[in-house]
């Protein structure tokens, strides 16, 4: 992989974030919210409101306000929350860590289940196992997050009473309780991911197993295990990486619903609270951080392509 390609990709990420920053800042400017009123309250005097607007630069032209905000972002300063009076950056980064923990556990569970399900469906094509995986996948894709969340809460928290329905406990404080509180959100997020990826693995592996190089590997006397995992699955996983990278976008959107349902204090829930309170700095920071996370995830997917298939070279 050439250094020129890496520089171009990093430049593309920077360009994407610059465009997103303009869009996010423009949208927050047209929201029906006054930062001075949010800070001082509805009963503040006109003199106090004018002083706050002057101190925050709200009387400056929009383009000047954007440059001032962008300069702070480049220094790592996302501004001060209008709701809490605290720095937005550390608050959003901490919330992002919780969301990434949920996303990471969901992806790990998805890979642990979806790939074996796809393999079983592919090698038993047209049989009962293939039909069962297909039915489960179609059901998983058709269920929205709030329905899946309701079902898992009813089953595991209400009927069986083996897992807590809502709340969050940091893993650093109590790993057992922390994982117990994360279990239902992880299952909810993983359902659609497993459905997507298992169908993709099954479809691609069926195609790969009928290619000429797989026939040649079998004619050479290689074991079926070696043919399947070393030659077949490695190439079948390339399109799967694309699906996983695209599902990162789903995670960033779907996690917002899941975090709100399970009262998980991640970046999605922080964004909902910020929107309800018209907390403009928090909205801007949250949207920009989520866009940066998605850009980095797509870049990591490209790196995984080259690692899985040495024939792929980025020049």
CATH 1.20.210.10, applies to 89-308: no
Domain ranges of the chain: 3-74, 89-308
Tell me, what's the pLDDT at 251?
72
Convert the pLDDT of each residue in 154-194 to its tens digit: 999 889 889 898 888 888 888 888 899 999 999 998 888 88
Single out the residue of 209, 313, 191 nearest to residue 254, CA to CA: 191
Q: List 87's β-bridge partners, or say none.
A: 80
**Residue 40's pLDDT is what?**
66
Say what the pLDDT of residue 185 is: 92
The pLDDT of residue 46: 78
Q: Which helix (H) or strand (E) holds 132?
A: helix 128-142
Which stretches of the chain score pLDDT less than 70? Answer: 1-2, 31-42, 56, 245-247, 249-250, 252-254, 305-315
CB neighbour list of residue 3: distance below 8 Å, 6 or more residues apart: none
pLDDT at 290: 84
What is the rounded distance in angstroms from the CA atom of residue 107 to the CA atom of residue 251? 10
Contacts of 122 (CB under 8 A, 6+ apart): 130, 201, 202, 205, 206, 209
- Give SS3 for 223: coil
Task: Say what the pLDDT of residue 12 is.
Answer: 86
Please tell me the predicted confidence (pLDDT) of residue 186: 92
At residue 306, the pLDDT reads 65
Cα(33)–Cα(281) distance, rounded to whole angstroms? 12
- What's the rounded Cα separation, in Å, for the pair 99 and 292? 14
Backbone conformation region of residue 65, classed left if phi is above 0, alpha if psi is from -120 to 50, else beta = alpha
- Give the pLDDT of residue 312: 59
Rounded to whole angstroms, the Cα distance separating 239 from 118 reads 13
Residue 41 has what pLDDT? 66
C-alpha to C-alpha distance for 254 and 247, rounded to whole angstroms: 10
């Amino acid at each position: 992989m050439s250094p020129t390609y890496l520089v171009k990709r990093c430049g593309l990420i920077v360009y994407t974030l610059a465009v997103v920053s303009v869009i996010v800042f423009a949208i927050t400017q047209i929201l029906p919210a006054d930062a001075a009123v949010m800070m001082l309250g509805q009963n503040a005097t006109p003199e106090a409101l004018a002083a706050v607007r002057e101190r925050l630069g709200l009387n400056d032209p929009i383009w000047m306000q954007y440059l001032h905000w962008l300069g702070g972002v480049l220094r790592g300063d996302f501004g001060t929350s209008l709701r809490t009076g605290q720095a937005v950056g550390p608050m959003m980064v901490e919330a992002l860590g919780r969301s990434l923990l949920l996303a990471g556990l969901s992806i790990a569970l998805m890979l642990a289940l979806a790939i074996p399900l796809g393999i079983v469906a592919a090698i038993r094509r047209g049989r009962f196992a293939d039909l069962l995986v297909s039915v489960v996948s179609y059901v998983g894709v058709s269920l929205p997050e709030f329905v899946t969340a309701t079902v898992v809460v009813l089953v595991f928290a209400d009927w069986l009473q083996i897992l807590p329905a809502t709340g969050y406990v940091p893993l650093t404080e109590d790993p057992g309780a922390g994982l117990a509180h994360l279990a239902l959100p992880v299952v909810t997020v993983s359902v659609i991911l497993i459905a997507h990826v298992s169908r993709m693995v099954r479809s691609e592996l069926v195609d790969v197993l009928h290619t000429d190089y797989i026939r040649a590997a079998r004619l050479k006397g290689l074991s079926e295990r070696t043919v399947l995992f070393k030659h077949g699955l490695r190439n079948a996983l390339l399109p799967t990486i694309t699906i996983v990278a695209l599902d990162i976008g789903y995670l960033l959107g779907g996690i917002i619903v899941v975090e709100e349902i399970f009262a998980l204090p991640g970046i999605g829930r922080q964004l909902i609270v910020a929107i309800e309170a018209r907390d403009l700095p928090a909205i801007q920071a949250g949207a920009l951080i989520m866009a940066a996370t998605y850009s980095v995830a797509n870049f990591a997917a490209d790196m995984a392509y080259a690692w899985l298939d040495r024939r792929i070279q980025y020049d």
